[in-house]
C-alpha cells in the first residue's frame, strides 16, 4: 500500500523528526508499504465540482491507499479540513476529520461523554459570565480551572481557595477565552492513566504520576510512568469513551476515583514514545496492522460497489 503520514515534523520530506511519525514510517516500510511524510501545513486544497484534490509541493496526493493523520492541536481546524478533503477523494483515513474535531473540542467532547454515559469529573464550561460565585459553589473547592484550548497540561490551574479561584477565573475572562472548571479528585493523588486503543481493544496502558507535588501528571510536565493493568470496568469505560468520539485509534486519559473510573479526555493523535517506552509494547505495528486490514476492506468494498 501507499501510505501518507500527515505530520508536522521538521526537516526534509520523509525525514521524520518526531518519534511517533518515525516509528510508524519504519514499521510500515518494514511491512512492505511505501510511505510518504507530508507536512499538513503545506498542503493546499483544490475544490472543484466532482474533482476534490490535495496538492503538495506541486504534486497531487490522490494516489494513496491510506492516510495517518498526526494533527497537532495548534492546527486542528486546517488539519481536519485536509483530512476531510482526503475523505472526499475516497481515500481511507485512520481517524476521520469529524472525530478529530470532536476530540479537540473540550466542550463538545464533554457533552458527548455525558450523552454516552461515560463517567467524568463534574465540569462547568463558561465564557464571559459574572456569576463567578455560583460557578465556584457548583464545583466546590479545591477545583481545577483550565483553558478550553489548553494542551499538554498548559493553561491548567489548581485553585484551593475561593479568592484564588475568583482571581483565576476573572483573569481568564480578561483574555477573552472560554474556561473549564472541574472538580478536583483528591484520591487520584496526582496520578492518571493513559490507555491506548487500537481497533476497539486496549493494547497498552500506563499510570502517570506527577513530580514535586504537581497535580498535573502529564508526561509533558515532567511526570513519570509505570505499566498498569486496567480493571474490566476501566476497560469498558475507555472503549466507551473512544467510541463516543468515533476513534478507532486513540489515547484515553482517566483517573481512579471513589465512584469509579473518570475520563478526562480522548487524544486523537496520541504520542507513541511514552507508552512504548514504559510498556515495551510495539504499538506502531498494531496501528499499521489495523490500517492494512481496514484499508483493504474499504478498497474491496469500493470495488464491489463499483
DSSP 82-104: HHHHHHHTT-EESS-HHHHHHHH
| Residue in the structure block whose three cell numbers are 484534490 | 53
d(CA 67, CA 60): 14
- The tens digit of pLDDT for each residue in 27-42 reads 999 999 999 999 999 9
User: What's residue 282's pLDDT?
Assistant: 98
pLDDT at 53 over 50: yes
Lowest mean pLDDT among 39-53, 149-163, 189-203: 149-163
Kindly list the distances between the CA atom of residue 88 and the CA atoms of 44, 46, 297, in Å, as whole numbers in the listed order. 14, 11, 18
d(CA 78, CA 6): 12
DSSP states of 254-288 as a string?
Answer: EEEETTEEEEEEEESS--SHHHHHHH---HHHHHH
137 or 174: which leads in pLDDT: 137
Torsion of Cα atoms, 267 then 272 then 275 then 276, to 10°: 160
d(CA 227, CA 217): 14
In 3-state terms the chain splits into helix, strand, coil percentages (rounded to 5) of: 40, 25, 35
When the pLDDT of each residue in the chain is averaged and rounded to a whole number, the result is 89
Axis crossing angle, helix 97-104 with helix 106-116, rounded to the nearest 10 = 100
- CB 151, CB 269: distance < 8 Å: no
User: What's residue 36's pLDDT?
Assistant: 97
β-strand pairing of 143-147 with 179-183 = antiparallel
Lowest mean pLDDT among 5-14, 108-117, 269-278: 5-14
Alpha-carbon Rg of the chain, whole angstroms? 20
What's the longest Cα–Cα distance across the chain?
65
169 or 254: which leads in pLDDT: 254
d(CA 267, CA 265): 7
Give Cβ neighbours of residue 232 (< 8 Å, ≥ 6 apart). none
Calculate the CA 178 to chain-centre distance. Answer: 20
d(CA 268, CA 26): 21
| Residue in the structure block whose three cell numbers are 511524510 | 37
- The tens digit of pLDDT for each residue in 58-91 reads 999 999 999 999 999 999 999 999 999 999 999 9
User: What's residue 304's pLDDT?
Assistant: 34
The CB density around residue 129, as the number of other CB atoms within 10 Å, is 12
User: What's residue 119's pLDDT?
Assistant: 97
Structure letter (DSSP) for residue 186 = G
Q: What predicted TM-score, i.e. pTM, was given to this entire model?
A: 0.88
Q: Which residue segments constitute the domains of the chain, with CATH numbers given? A: 2-95 (3.40.50.20), 102-119+188-268 (3.30.470.20), 123-184 (3.30.1490.20)
Amino acid at each position: 500500500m501507499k501510505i501518507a503520514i500527515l505530520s508536522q515534523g521538521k526537516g526534509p520530506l520523509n525525514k521524520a523528526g518526531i518519534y511517533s511519525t518515525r516509528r510508524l514510517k519504519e514499521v510500515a516500510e518494514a511491512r512492505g508499504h511505501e510511505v510518504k511524510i507530508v507536512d499538513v501545513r503545506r498542503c493546499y486544497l483544490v475544490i472543484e465540482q466532482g474533482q476534490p484534490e490535495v496538492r503538495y509541493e506541486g504534486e497531487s496526493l490522490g494516489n494513496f491507499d491510506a492516510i495517518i493523520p498526526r494533527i497537532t492541536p495548534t492546527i486542528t481546524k486546517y488539519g481536519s479540513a485536509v483530512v476531510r478533503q482526503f475523505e472526499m477523494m475516497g481515500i481511507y483515513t485512520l481517524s476521520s476529520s469529524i472525530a478529530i474535531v470532536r476530540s479537540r473540542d473540550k466542550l463538545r467532547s464533554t457533552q458527548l461523554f455525558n450523552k454516552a454515559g461515560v463517567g467524568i469529573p463534574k465540569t462547568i464550561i463558561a465564557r464571559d459570565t459574572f456569576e463567578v460565585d455560583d460557578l465556584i459553589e457548583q464545583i466546590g473547592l479545591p477545583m481545577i480551572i483550565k483553558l478550553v484550548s489548553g494542551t499538554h497540561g498548559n493553561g491548567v490551574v489548581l485553585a484551593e481557595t475561593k479568592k484564588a479561584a475568583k482571581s483565576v477565573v476573572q483573569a481568564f475572562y480578561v483574555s477573552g477565552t472560554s474556561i473549564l472548571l472541574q472538580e478536583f479528585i483528591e484520591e487520584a493523588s496526582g496520578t492518571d492513566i493513559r490507555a491506548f486503543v487500537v481497533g476497539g481493544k486496549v493494547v497498552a496502558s500506563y499510570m502517570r504520576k506527577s513530580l514535586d507535588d504537581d497535580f498535573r501528571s502529564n508526561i509533558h510536565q515532567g511526570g513519570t510512568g509505570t505499566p498498569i493493568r486496567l480493571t474490566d470496568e476501566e476497560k469498558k469505560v475507555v472503549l466507551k469513551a473512544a467510541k463516543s468520539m468515533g476513534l478507532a485509534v486513540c489515547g484515553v486519559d482517566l483517573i481512579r476515583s471513589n465512584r469509579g473510573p473518570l475520563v478526562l479526555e480522548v487524544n486523537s493523535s496520541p504520542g507513541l514514545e511514552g507508552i512504548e517506552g514504559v510498556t515495551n509494547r510495539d504499538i506502531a505495528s498494531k496501528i499499521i496492522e489495523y490500517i492494512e486490514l481496514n484499508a483493504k476492506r474499504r478498497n474491496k468494498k469500493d470495488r464491489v460497489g463499483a
